[in-house]
Amino acid sequence: MSETATPIRVLLVDSRPVVLKGLNDLINAKKPRMEVAGNADRYARALDLADRLHPDVILFSFFPDALDPLEVIAGLARQGDAKLLVLKGLYDDVPVAKAIEAGARGVVLTEDPTGSITRAIIKVRDRSVGLDRAWTGGLSNLATREHAHVVNHPEQSKLARLTLRERELIRAIAANPSDKYMTIAQRLGISEHTVHNHLSSVYHKLGLINRIDLLVYALKHRLVEGEEHPDSGWVEIN
Q: Tell me, what's the pLDDT at 95?
A: 83
Q: Stretch 142-152: mean pLDDT, rounded?
A: 43
Q: Tell me, what's the pLDDT at 156?
A: 73
Which distant-in-sequence residues (6+ apart) come within 8 Å of 145 by Cβ? none
Query: What is the value of pTM for the model shown?
Result: 0.58
- Residue 230: pLDDT above 80? no
Check residues 135 and 188 and name the one with the higher pLDDT. 188
Task: Look over the chain and give the mean of its residue pLDDT values, rounded to a whole number.
Answer: 79
- Give 180's DSSP letter: -
Overall number of domains in the chain? 2
Q: Stretch 138-143: mean pLDDT, rounded?
A: 43
- Residue 198: domain span: 151-220
Dist. CA 158–CA 171, nearest whole Å: 17
Residue 129's CB is within 10 A of a number of other CB atoms, namely 7
Q: Tell me, what's the pLDDT at 23?
A: 95
Q: Tell me, what's the pLDDT at 173?
A: 83
Q: What is the CATH number of the domain that holds 97?
A: 3.40.50.2300
Tens digits of per-residue pLDDT, 45-90? 999 999 999 999 999 999 999 999 999 999 998 888 899 999 988 7
Cis before 32? omega within 30 = yes
CA neighbor of 140 nearest in space, from 87, 102, 177? 177
CA neighbor of 109 nearest in space, from 130, 133, 141? 133
Given 103, 135, 167, which residue is the final one in a domain? 135
The answer to whether residue 181 sits within a structural domain is: yes
Is the same domain home to 111 and 15?
Answer: yes
Tens digits of per-residue pLDDT, 154-208? 667 778 888 888 888 888 888 777 678 888 888 888 888 889 889 999 988 888 8
pLDDT tier for residue 235 given thresholds of 50, 70 and 90:
very low
Is the same domain home to 158 and 195?
Answer: yes
Q: Tell me, what's the pLDDT at 17?
A: 95
Tens digits of per-residue pLDDT, 4-48? 478 999 999 999 999 999 999 999 999 999 999 999 999 999 999
Is the same domain home to 37 and 81?
Answer: yes
Q: What is the 3-state secondary structure of 110-162?
A: CCCCHHHHHHHHHHHHHCCCCCCCCCCCCHHHHHHHHHCCCCHHHHHHHHHCC
Is the same domain home to 20 and 70?
Answer: yes
- Collapse the DSSP code of 191 into the 3-class scheme (helix H, G, I; strand E, B; otherwise coil) and give the result: coil
CA neighbor of 41 nearest in space, from 21, 27, 55? 21
- Residue 121: pLDDT above 70? yes
Please provide the size of the chain in residues. 238
The answer to whether residue 146 sits within a structural domain is: no
Q: Stretch 102-112: mean pLDDT, rounded?
A: 84
The answer to whether residue 227 sits within a structural domain is: no
- Residue 147: pLDDT above 70? no
